[in-house]
Structure 1
Amino acid sequence: MQNSLDSALENVHHAGVPGLFAEVWDGDEVWRGAAGVADVATGRPVTAGMRHRVGSVTKTFTAAAVLQQVEEGQLDLDAPVGRYLPRLVPGERGQAITVRMLINHTSGLAEYLPYAYPSLAAYPDLAGTSPQSLDDHRCTRFDPVELIGMGVVAPATGVPGGTPGVYSNTNYLLLGELLEKVTGSTADKCITRNVIERAGLRDTELPAGPEIEGPHSRLYEAWFGMIDPPRDYSVYDMSWVGPAAALISTVADLNRFFGLLLAGEIVSPSSLARMQTTVPVISQEGKLIDYGLGLHPVAVPGGGAVWGHGGTVWGGGTMAMISADGRRRMSVAVNLQRWNALDPSGRLLPHPIDAALAAFFRTAMGDRTTGLADPR
């Protein structure tokens, strides 16, 4: 396994990613690898133990924290969110949208991101966007209630409970407010105490400030070729995504977390079954995917499934996946994002990095997966 994984990881680096690192489990055998640099200016190498912003992998942690409250009787999955947060989702909408609909993105609530970052207002019409807001908001401290308000007043993406749902970070900011409402502590503290610490994760946190503490890579954002050369956004206030995508972790911690989750040790087996019950959802990239309660499945040729989640932040990306039997686990972190150029209509053009990453996924998961369509 080691030689093929080393080669596959190097291929991703040579395809254009400055640096990446990963950990793969195959039963009791564990491989860790790194390729490339953490800093293109100094040539400082990446290492497999680096901490990294993992983006929307955070959603799995937040969903698990919510399901724990369901198990304790503090929340009802099928209760209207208006019962708990009437001022944030008022009126008939608040009565029609349930907690479950927030977790599986069938609420019909729009994404707030274009409104929080004005120069991204054409998103997802990528050809019409500009990266200027990324610099403007490096140190902006966003109020989650204000962000939620942007998503709630925006035109709905569908009727509550309708499918396909539409992936929206607004849903997970609301889940953060929901956790605060029923636990009396902040969502960060709830997720830290009930999920991160419960799983024994030593290098995982929801950061209070814009810095990544400990050894880490710079994070290079290309914004579809509009930032050339790619610019470092490793120092960034993550209040713009909070419990939707702000987590810092390591590939080892992610593999441990997903292993415990699928073993029924983070939430109960019945809650895990709910997490693995999926509906069709349109991802932020416009792809139709299956989505559960904070988990994303991929069919494996010959039977079985791979479960996990992917995520991106400005300049960084992460993918974590685990086979249904728990024997195969893979987490990988890359320090470049939005490397694809756009055609005149704004569609993503293929890039060698895409094929190289897909090949690494196949190698890591034993050639049993056709690749993970990432809801980012």
Structure 2
Amino acid sequence: MTKLLAELCPEFRVPGASLAYWHDGEIHQEAAGVLNLATGVEVTPGSIFQIGSITKVWTTAQIMLLIEQGRLTLDTPVARLLDGLCPGVAVRHLLTHTCGVDGDFFHDTGRGDDCLARYAEAVRELAPAHPAGAAHSYSNAGFVLAGRIVEVLTGQVWDDALRSMLIEPLGLTHTWTLPEDVIRFRAATGHLGEPGEPQRPTPTWGIMRSIGPAGLICATAADVVRFGRSFLDSPLLSAASVEAMATPQVELPYGSFGSHWGLGWILDEWDGVPVWSHGGNTIGQSAMLWVLPGSGVTVAALANGGDTAGLFRALAARLFPELAGVSPRPLPQPPADPPAWSGEHDGVYERTSARITVTPGRLRYENTGSFADLDEPMHYTLVPVGEGRYLARRDGEELWSGVVCTTFPDGSPYLYFGGRATPKTR
């Protein structure tokens, strides 16, 4: 098992990766490749990577601690906590990605300690993508607002509250949010490149500070495992809070990520065994955390470019049968004889930071937001599998993911892809 990353990274064109897993009462670690192709510095188990949206589980844990203190409830209106912001939205909606605030509003409000307060003010100008609770749509913005609630209730900047509430009590020494702290360690640089093409270091190292509660944490794989284990063997959160986070809140439309979303966690079952997980993507870096509460097996994988989805899938297929006697749920595959293309859902779908165009057999995804200059449009093969349901596979990659075309409660059409609901505009 100690050569697993060294074997798989070249196959998936991943420059460097770090793996840690808890099994039989201890943490096992492995590292392979380089932190930066331009410098050739090797990855070690002590190297720090950006863990992206796994941060959302940490922010959820902060909210749960505040709930335990009686400072709020899941049903507390956001408007009551944030000066009238987001009427009709409850805290629960933020943590389950059902708030209706456009998820990819990557608005840079500077490096100051007031960045979340300024971001929240900017959200006031956004039109809701849908009414609260009307659909599941992955929302980075919703978790920034959750982080702002933490600031308001604790009187601390979110980064400081994270340290005092979670990082220091868990004894984590290689978990940080700001680049001036991360640079004191061996830190990974992300890499970009189209499928099948050589990888290149990204010209922008990290995301803006204002997105912190949604995706700014950097850590070693071992620290991520220790955080995941804290839900199983630490008194930090009460048993009631852990259970609440692992209780299904929203059924996912296609199940590509899992079967349900809980509070923070993505929930699934593999061979009848419960699995809690969350992934993360930043600029050229990706991460994955899996927790199997029944056996206690906890796995974190971090990587800095290439086909990270393929790498993580391959790691899971190799690791979990040996560590826990279970296999990841198979991903969907297109039927041998798919239905004829109806054209019913052809058209353009747009939200704040993305434009999706559906044509016969094809899907084109364009990033139109803050990072548009870093991403080329992505092109997918699109195969119908049933009424309003499709499978999409990016050109040059192997994994299929689900696409659902449906309607909001008011009857307006939208497309669900990549965990996000995107309204049809023409």
Match of 2:102 among 103, 110, 113: 110
Question: Of residues 37, 49, 72 in structure 2, which corresponds to 1:40?
Answer: 37
Residue 25 of structure 2 corresponds to 28
Q: Which residue of 2 aligns with 1:218?
A: 189
- CA offsets, 1:68-119, max 9 Å, x none? 11101111221111111124x1xxx42x2111111111111112436x38xx
RCO higher in 1 or 2 (8 Å CA, sep ≥ 6)?
1
C-alpha distance in structure 1 between counterparts of 2:82 and 2:309, whole Å: 41
State the Cα distance separating 1:287 from its structure 2 match.
6.5
Q: Which residue does the alignment assign to 1:11? A: 8
Determine helix, strand or coil for the equivalent of 1:172: helix
The one-character-per-residue Cα deviations of 1:128-164 (angstroms, maximum 9, x if unpaired) are: xxxxxxxxx9x877933443344443332322123x3
Structure 1: how far apart are the matches of 2:120 and 2:200? 30
1:362 aligns with 2:317: yes
% identical equivalent positions:
25
Aligned to 2:289: 320
Q: For 1:160, give the aligned amino acid.
A: A
Q: Would the alpha carbon gap of residues 288 and 228 (structure 1) be closer, same or farther in structure 2, given more than 3 Å must change?
A: same
Structure 2 residue aligned with 1:55 = 52
Q: Bigger shift: 311-320 or 208-217?
A: 208-217
Q: Find the counterpart in structure 2 of residue 252 from structure 1.
A: 222
Which residue number corresponds to residue 143 of structure 1?
115
Aligned to 1:170: 141
Of stretches 286-295 and 176-185 in structure 1, the one that deviates more from structure 2 is 286-295
Partner of 2:158: 187
Q: Deviations over 1:248-306 (max 9, x none)?
A: 111111111111123352211111111112233769x99785211111122111x1211
The match for 2:415 is none
Contact 1:55/1:245 (8 A) holds in 2: yes
Partners in 2 of 1:203 and 1:299 — Cα distance? Answer: 31
Q: SS at the partner of 2:326?
A: coil
**Which of the pair has more CA radius of gyration?**
2
User: Any stretches of 5+ residues in structure 1 without a counterpart?
Assistant: 118-136, 340-350
Q: What's the secondary structure of 2:313's corresponding residue?
A: helix
2-structure distance, mates of 1:62, 1:358: 26
Alpha-carbon distance in 1 for matches of 2:258, 2:195: 26
Q: For residue 344 of structure 1, what is the aligned residue in structure 2?
A: none
Task: Check whether the contact 1:220–1:315 (CA below 8 A) recurs between aligned residues.
Answer: yes
Which residue does the alignment assign to 1:161?
A: 133
Does 185-194 or 289-298 show the bigger shift? 289-298
Contact 1:166 1:282 in 2 (8 A): no
SS for the counterpart of 2:186 is coil
Amino acid corresponding to residue 163 of structure 2 in structure 1: T
Counterpart CA distance in 2 for 1:252 and 1:269 is: 23
Q: Structure 2: how far apart are the matches of 1:211 and 1:202?
A: 11
Q: Please tell me the residue identity of whatever aligns with 2:283.
A: W
SS at match of 2:21: strand
Instruction: Flag the 1:190–1:153 CA change in 2: closer, same or farther, 3 A.
Output: same
Tell me how far 1:42 sits from its aligned partner: 3.6
Question: Offset at 1:370?
Answer: 1.7
1:23/1:331 contact within 8 Å kept? yes
Give the partner amino acid of 2:57. T
User: Which runs of 5 or more structure 2 residues have no equivalent in the other structure?
Assistant: 332-400, 402-417, 421-426
Let me know the Cα RMSD of the aligned residues.
3.1
TM-score (norm 2): 0.69
State how far apart, in whole Å, the 2-side matches of 1:330 and 1:79 are.
34
Distance 1:246 1:319, change over 3 A: same
Is the deviation greater in 242-251 or in 33-42? Answer: 33-42
Displacement, 1:227?
Answer: 9.5
Q: Match for 2:246 among 262, 273, 276? A: 276
| Equivalent position of 1:76 in the other structure | 73
Partner of 1:263: 233
Give the length in aligned residue pairs.
329
Q: Is the 8 A contact 1:79 1:99 kept in 2?
A: yes
The structure-2 alpha-carbon separation of the partners of 1:318 and 1:216, relative to structure 1 and needing over 3 Å to count, comes to same
Structure-1 separation of matches of 2:166 and 2:40: 36
Once the two structures are superposed, residues 33-55 of structure 1 have per-residue CA deviations (whole angstroms, 9 ceiling, x without a partner) of 11212222343221122111111
Letter of the structure 2 residue corresponding to residue 104 of structure 1: T
CA contact (8 A) 1:140 1:237 kept: no
- The amino acid across from 2:274 in the alignment is A
Report the equivalent of 2:364.
Answer: none
Is 1:290 paired with 2:260?
yes
